[in-house]
Amino acid sequence: MIVKKILFATAATAAVLSATPALAQNAAPVGPRVEAIAGYDRVKAAGEKDGGALFGLGAGYDVAVGNGVSIGADVEASKSTQKEGDPDVAQVKSGRDLYAGGRLNFAVSPTANLYVKGGYTNAKFKATDGVISASDNLDGYRIGAGGQMALSGKAYVGAEYRHSNYEHGVARNQVAMTLGTRF
């Protein structure tokens, strides 16, 4: 239900922004980009929830498709410090998370843009009961929305919310800050 509300709000915002005449004056971001990612990660598995720090690197390429609008491709590799339980009794912890997807950017001023994103994600989780350990890679999808603001030159800062849904009822919600540059 929350995912549907987020998608609806994001789509409504995008529709309003794309119809705004002021967007014609603003150029959407274009070209290659790289960024550092840091934030908060909350994983839900088997009815339990736990959080940790999120950190990683992302890259992408954006192409203009109209006045104030661009589309892009995203890739990301991240890791989380999230772990739940006692390693001597039973513990589940997050490993690396790989993401590939697309995004739609909307310029809202000469120095700021908003975007929506979605794509494929694959995360590694490890479980232990104090004696036996096992790990598994889970496939899923990610949706999100965020914004970026230019600092100086081609540098920018950003913030985004994203939701990932994996196999076996595992899900995660993340709030991430980005610091990047365009080339």
Task: Kindly state the helix (H) or strand (E) to which residue 6 belongs, with its residue range.
Answer: helix 2-19
- For residues 138 and 124, what is the distance between their CA atoms, to the nearest angstrom? 6
Interacting residues of 144 by C-beta distance below 8 A, sequence separation 6+: 116, 117, 118, 160, 161, 162, 163
CATH number of 2-182: 2.40.160.20
Q: How confident is the model at residue 17 (pLDDT cuts 50, 70, 90)?
A: very low
Q: How confident is the model at residue 25 (pLDDT cuts 50, 70, 90)?
A: low
Under DSSP, is residue 14 helix (H, G, I), strand (E, B) or coil? Answer: helix
pLDDT for residue 183 is more than 70: yes
Strand-pairing partners, residue 141, are 120, 165
Give the percent of the chain with pLDDT over 70.
85
Beta strands in the chain (DSSP E): 31-45, 48-66, 69-80, 83-86, 90-109, 112-128, 133-150, 155-166, 171-182
Show the DSSP H helices in 33-133 as ranges.
Answer: none
Work out the mean pLDDT of the chain and round it to a whole number: 86
Is this model's pTM higher than 0.85 or not? no
Q: 54 versus 153: which is more confidently predicted? A: 54
Q: Are 122 and 100 in contact (CB under 8 A)?
A: no
pLDDT tens digits for range 64-90? 999 999 999 999 999 999 887 776 677
- For residues 177 and 149, what is the distance between their CA atoms, to the nearest angstrom? 12
Q: How confident is the model at residue 2 (pLDDT cuts 50, 70, 90)?
A: low
Sign of CA dihedral 73, 30, 25, 156: positive
Strand pairing category for 69-80 and 48-66: antiparallel
Under DSSP, is residue 22 helix (H, G, I), strand (E, B) or coil? Answer: helix
What is the residue extent of each domain of the chain?
2-182
Q: Are 115 and 106 in contact (CB under 8 A)?
A: yes
pLDDT tens digits for range 120-148? 999 998 887 777 878 899 999 999 999 99
* Per-residue pLDDT, 21: 46
- For residues 153 and 171, what is the distance between their CA atoms, to the nearest angstrom? 37
Which segment of 49-53, 110-114, 124-128 scores lowest on mean pLDDT?
124-128
